[in-house]
């Protein structure tokens, strides 16, 4: 198999020959029952391989954020397990510094400039500013913010703040990047630019991504795999591969491959929300653009 360039001429990590490898993450029959009686997840099994870009899509309340939080170790499971077959586990039973989380809000510290915000995770690991400088500058370069390293969050646009948040997540060189609707509050053009930035990062670093979105179009553009969830209780409705080796550029957005992925995801989402009866009407009002 030959390597195929993806976003901005980058190579799709999934399109290079990979020896049979153990999954990065395996959720096995995970359920989550909150103390107020809400069954947020029921029997969720999800395996993520190294280099995959997995989008999680589903109606509000179907447990997407709960699933990410559990994967990040921010919440426990009620039954089932999470395995990290190829990762070191620390004495607390958590995977060691291999995960980063990007939330919907950039959550920057207003009193620290861009450099200092991105440096924070390394500082918390006890790495000196001097030792971290090259890595931080590298992360800033990747998200196009080198010229803003001295700027404070109040001086940045919403898209730039989100770029800082992504650089901060990547500075520890995680194996798995969890993103929970990171671009939901941004305008469409900024969102498309950031989608390309994330694809570039993914292609350059080989990081695996689990990306929560409500956007059919965003998931169809970014993913190698799409997992559609259902609500009450939250569970997996469909899990399928998309776009293998495709070049994601402006042309891709108008390609037949992208259009058919949008259609498939949209059908699946409609079925997850309303059942099979709406099949065929699903893309109504949601034409690929
Ligand atoms: N800490 C909590 N205590 C009790 N119930 C919770 C808690 N967190 C989430 N829930 C419930 O669990 C269910 C799943 O919530 P979750 O936030 O994971 O959904 P989601 O798919 O991320 O939704 P959205 O798309 O709106 O962000 C919801 O019914 C929610 O009310
Ligand atoms: Mg959520």
Domain count, the chain: 2
Percent of the residues in the chain that have a pLDDT greater than 90, as a whole number: 62
Beta 25-33 vs 79-83: how paired, if at all?
antiparallel
Please tell me whether residues 88 and 202 are part of one structural domain.
yes
Rounded Cα–Cα distance for residues 65 and 73 (Å): 12
Any atom of ligand 1 within 6 Å of the Cβ of 38: yes
pLDDT of residue 71: 92
Q: Which ligand is nearest to the CA of 273?
A: 1
Residue 178 placed within a domain:
no
Q: Check residues 233 and 19 and name the one with the higher pLDDT.
A: 233
pLDDT of residue 97: 56
**pTM metric for this prediction:** 0.86
Statement: residue 16 has pLDDT above 70: no
pLDDT of residue 167: 93
Please tell me whether residues 199 and 90 are part of one structural domain.
yes
Please tell me whether residues 191 and 143 are part of one structural domain.
no
Query: Domain span at residue 154?
Result: 106-173
Statement: residue 112 has pLDDT above 90: yes
CB atoms within 10 A of CB 185: 13
CATH code of the domain covering residue 221: 3.40.50.300
pLDDT of residue 21: 60
Residues with CB under 5 Å of ion ligand 2 are: 65
Please tell me whether residues 189 and 284 are part of one structural domain.
yes
User: Whose CA is closest to atom 31 on ligand 1?
Assistant: 61
Residue 245 placed within a domain:
yes
- Are 222 and 248 within 8 A, CB to CB? yes
Please tell me whether residues 276 and 204 are part of one structural domain.
yes
Per-residue confidence band for 138, with pLDDT thresholds at 50, 70 and 90: very high
3-state DSSP call for residue 26? Answer: strand
Distance 61 CA to ligand 2 centre (A): 7
CB atoms within 10 A of CB 85: 11
Beta strands in 71-161 (DSSP E): 79-83, 99-102
pLDDT of residue 262: 95
pLDDT of residue 95: 64
Statement: residue 19 has pLDDT above 70: no
Please tell me whether residues 151 and 206 are part of one structural domain.
no
pLDDT of residue 186: 86
pLDDT of residue 9: 45
- Are 61 and 124 within 8 A, CB to CB? no
CB atoms within 10 A of CB 183: 24
Please tell me whether residues 69 and 23 are part of one structural domain.
yes
Statement: residue 1 has pLDDT above 50: no
pLDDT in tens, 159-212: 999 999 999 999 988 999 999 999 988 888 888 888 998 998 899 889 999 999
Per-residue confidence band for 245, with pLDDT thresholds at 50, 70 and 90: confident
Statement: residue 18 has pLDDT above 70: no
Mean pLDDT of 262-269: 95
Any atom of ligand 1 within 6 Å of the Cβ of 68: no
User: Whose CA is closest to atom 24 on ligand 1?
Assistant: 60
Any atom of ligand 1 within 6 Å of the Cβ of 65: yes
pLDDT of residue 17: 44
pLDDT in tens, 38-94: 999 999 999 999 999 999 999 999 999 999 999 988 889 999 999 887 666 667 666
Residue 223 placed within a domain:
yes
Please tell me whether residues 166 and 190 are part of one structural domain.
no
**216-250 residues labelled b (16+ CB within 10 A) or e (exposed):** bbbbbbbbbbbbbbbbebbbbbbeeebbebbbbee
Residue 92 placed within a domain:
yes
Please tell me whether residues 286 and 244 are part of one structural domain.
yes
Average pLDDT, the chain: 86
pLDDT in tens, 198-228: 998 899 889 999 999 999 999 999 999 999 9
Q: Check residues 276 and 135 and name the one with the higher pLDDT.
A: 135
pLDDT of residue 278: 44
Q: Which residues contact 11 (CB under 8 A, 6 or more apart)?
A: 3, 4, 5, 203
User: Whose CA is closest to atom 8 on ligand 1?
Assistant: 66
């Amino acid at each position: 198999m030959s390597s195929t360039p993806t976003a901005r001429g980058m190579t799709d990590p999934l399109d290079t020959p990979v020896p049979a490898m153990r999954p990065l993450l395996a959720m096995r029959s995970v359920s989550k029952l909150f103390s107020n009686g809400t069954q947020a997840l029921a029997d969720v099994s999800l395996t993520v391989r190294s280099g995959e870009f997995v989008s999680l899509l589903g109606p509000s309340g179907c447990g997407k954020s709960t699933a990410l939080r559990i994967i990040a170790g921010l919440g426990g499971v009620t039954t089932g397990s999470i395995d990290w077959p190829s990762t070191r586990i620390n004495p607390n039973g958590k995977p060691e510094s291999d995960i980063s989380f990007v939330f919907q809000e950039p959550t920057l510290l207003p009193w620290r400039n861009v450099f200092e915000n991105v440096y924070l995770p390394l500082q918390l690991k006890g790495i000196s500013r001097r030792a971290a400088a090259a890595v931080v500058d590298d992360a800033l370069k990747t998200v196009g913010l080198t010229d803003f390293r001295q700027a404070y969050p109040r001086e940045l646009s919403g898209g730039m703040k989100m770029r800082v948040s992504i650089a901060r997540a990547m500075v520890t060189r995680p194996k798995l990047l969890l993103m929970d609707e990171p671009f939901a509050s941004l305008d469409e053009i900024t969102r498309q630019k950031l989608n390309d930035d994330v694809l570039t990062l993914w292609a350059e670093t080989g990081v695996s991504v689990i990306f929560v979105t409500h956007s059919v179009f965003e998931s169809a553009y970014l993913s190698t795999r799409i997992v559609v969830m259902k609500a009450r209780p939250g569970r997996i409705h469909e899990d399928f591969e998309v776009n293998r080796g495709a070049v994601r550029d402006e042309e891709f957005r108008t390609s037949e491959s992208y259009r058919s992925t949008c259609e498939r995801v949209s059908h699946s989402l409609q079925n997850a929300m309303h059942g099979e009866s709406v099949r065929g009407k699903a893309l109504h009002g949601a034409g690929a653009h």
